[in-house]
Amino acid sequence: MFDFVRKHNRLFQLILLVLILPSFVALGVNGYSNFMDGSNAAVAQVDGQKITRAEWDAAHRQQSERLRQQMPNLDPKLLDSPEARQQSLDNLVRERVMQAAVRQQHWQVSDEQLKHVFLSDPQFAAVRQPDGTLNTALLTAQGMNGKMFERRLRDSMAQEQVLRGVTNSAIGGSTLSAQAFDAFFQRREVRLLTVNPAEFAAQVKPADAEVEAYFKDPANASKFQLPEVAQIEYVVLDVEALKAGVTVADKDLKDYYEQNRSRYTVAEERRASHILIKADKAAPEAEKAKARARAEELLGQVQKAPASFADLARQNSQDEGSASRGGDLDFFPRGAMVKPFEEAAYALKPGEISKVVESDFGFHIIQLTAVRGGDTKSFESVRAEIEDDVRRQLAQKRYSELAETFSNTVYEQSDSLKPIAEKLKLGIRTATVQRKPSADAQGPLASAKLLEAVFSNDSLQNKRNTEAVEFGPSQLVAAHVVEYKPVRMPAFDDVKAQVTQLLVAKQAAALAVKAGADKLAALKASGDLASLQAAQTVSRIQAGKLSPKVLNAILQADAGKLPSVVGVEAGDGSYVIAAVTQILPRDAQVADPLRTAQQYAQAWSAAEADAYFKALKAQLKTSVKASATAASAPASN
């Protein structure tokens, strides 16, 4: 058999090619590459349906983009953090669970329900036009059409119905909420005594051998080991870097100015006063005629004595907002007033008075008092602004042209960043980084995605460039590891002073705890609190300088028999003795009964909804792959 294969090797190669090629074509090059790069791998599963890494990535991009639009100054490293990615996956899993629950429970939303919510809910005011129709222009700007918006709203309403029965069942009675909040906000009068380790530091004199043994103890390794670091070179391609190399001729700047003169024209605003005689648009004609006649009568008086306009407005105008100011409406631009009023005001010259103008509010007499704006700034005054705009636009265009070149070059010539730096005339920068961005990191060094690539096996072991990483809008970076230092222990002599200091602090703290425990026993035996500090009142919202451990010990002390004396290690090496001498009710000003009842009901509602959601997840056999959780968790040293 094997002899036959060896003799007819070329024939078998042809047969294999015929068998494999159609499958490859059917799968598609894109599908094959997705399979190879893991984007089609399942990261979670809900009701038998998988959530792929590609779907997770897409959901995270959408969430990040929404947050960028809502908070333009948001730190990019927060969006690229493992916690943010985990939140995106949690949200995606929740959405799939709710969709599956809607299908199983057969929830539906009628057209009438959909229309009622759209017309009445304030959150849709931005996409709702005055006549109740959809603002399609705004939807288009957000990448949606009317059908997409309707489908999303219908799905959202259906999902709300899944939990509504549970969330609406919570009852926050005043008695229950009062009991809960009284216990939570209870105040206690307490007297303290703190035994500080500093009092015992002079008694501790560890020998050199003891210090060295403390240093070598594996349990203490994390206190002294040096962190994992990488010295890197990196290059950045962004609009700012490209803008520096862009020059624009004066003629091009002047052409741009002429083509965009409206951008440099200060919008005209007008100031007017008016006298309004109200008449509703739907009022009977006789009523409207009477109102017009009154307005014409007042117009005659104004025309005879224009200086009396303000006085007549105070006495006769039915516009409550402006009558007290003599009819003054202050400055307003085009589009701020109803159309008939605006047309009349913008047709007047300063000091002129209009004829009677009818609008949906009634009949107006308008006096134009001032005009400002309407002037076009000179070219020289906006030259710097224009140059910056034009250079940025050209740099953005150049960035779009070079982004692919940048990505391909750092990948294809992966042993150095010099080729891409020379090709695009980019500076090579250097830095020392760890797996997590430092607190003061900025720009690309704040990108968790870049640091993940820097500390990958391909970068550290194979000495290759990282892939091009987008760390902000129109901003790419690639890095190369120059030197890598893993987590390591320093030489003992280099850190001996630090080790000695820590050991002294530890032994002094042990002495403080022992002394404190002895004093506690003596206090309990004698009941004499004279050595304790003066009484103070503490609570969960009035902790003062107490550590959480000390505060919890005080609030958990048995109040059945007072004084109740407890002792606790504060967490900073000190030992605190606390004597609870009195139990006080909560401060009535902390929260009013109505509000606490509402908060209590909301808390129960949220807890019930969370429990029901967890039950749904279990019922729908929801699972998240361990690899997905690990991928979103911070890397350990």
Reduced 3-state DSSP string for 174-196: HHHHHHHHHHHCCEEEEEEEEEC
8 A C-beta contact, residue 265 and residue 341: no
Q: Which of 55-64, 206-215, 565-574 has the lowest mean pLDDT?
A: 55-64
- Please give the torsion angle defined by the CA atoms of residues 313, 315, 321 and 326, in that order, rounded to the nearest 10 degrees: 40
Q: What is the pLDDT of residue 493?
A: 93
Averaged pLDDT score across all residues of the chain: 85
Q: Which of 44-48, 139-143, 418-422, 463-467 has the lowest mean pLDDT?
A: 139-143
Q: Is the pLDDT of residue 428 over 60?
A: yes
**Separation between Cα atoms, residue 307 and residue 317, nearest integer Å:** 16
CATH second-level architecture of 266-372? Roll (3.10)
Q: Residue 207 — pLDDT band, cuts 50, 70, 90?
A: very high
**Residue range 526-537, pLDDT digits in tens:** 989 999 999 999
**Separation between Cα atoms, residue 582 and residue 562, nearest integer Å:** 7
Q: What is the pLDDT of residue 22?
A: 41
**Tokens describing residue 148:** 């997409």
**Tokens describing residue 548:** 């959480």
Q: What is the pLDDT of residue 492?
A: 93
Q: Is the pLDDT of residue 508 over 60?
A: yes
Better pLDDT: 481 or 143: 481
For residue 563, whether the previous peptide bond is cis, meaning omega lies within 30 degrees of 0, is yes
Measured at the alpha carbon of residue 402, what is the angle toward residues 407 and 259, in degrees to the nearest 5?
A: 150
Q: Is 104 helix (H, G, I), strand (E, B) or coil?
A: helix
Over range 315-325, report the average pLDDT.
92
Q: Is the pLDDT of residue 14 over 70?
A: no
Q: Residue 35 — pLDDT band, cuts 50, 70, 90?
A: very low
CATH second-level architecture of 38-103+145-182+589-637? Orthogonal Bundle (1.10)
**Residue range 324-347, pLDDT digits in tens:** 999 999 999 888 889 999 999 999
SS3 of 462-521 = CCCCCCCEEEECCEEEEEEEEEEECCECCCHHHHHHHHHHHHHHHHHHHHHHHHHHHHHH
**Which amino acid, one-letter code, is at 247?**
T
Over range 211-238, report the average pLDDT.
93
Better pLDDT: 196 or 177: 196
Q: What is the pLDDT of residue 170?
A: 66
Sequence ranges of the domains in the chain = 1-35, 38-103+145-182+589-637, 186-224+492-584, 229-248+384-485, 266-372
**Residue range 581-598, pLDDT digits in tens:** 999 887 766 666 667 777
Q: What is the pLDDT of residue 323?
A: 92
Better pLDDT: 525 or 119: 525
Q: Which of 214-223, 598-607, 618-627 has the lowest mean pLDDT?
A: 598-607
**Residue range 367-390, pLDDT digits in tens:** 999 999 888 888 888 888 888 888
pTM: 0.48
Q: Strand pairing partners for 236?
A: 477
Q: Is the pLDDT of residue 45 over 60?
A: yes
8 A C-beta contact, residue 275 and residue 317: yes
Q: Is the pLDDT of residue 25 over 60?
A: no
Q: Strand pairing partners for 187?
A: 584
Q: What percent of the chain has pLDDT over 70?
A: 89
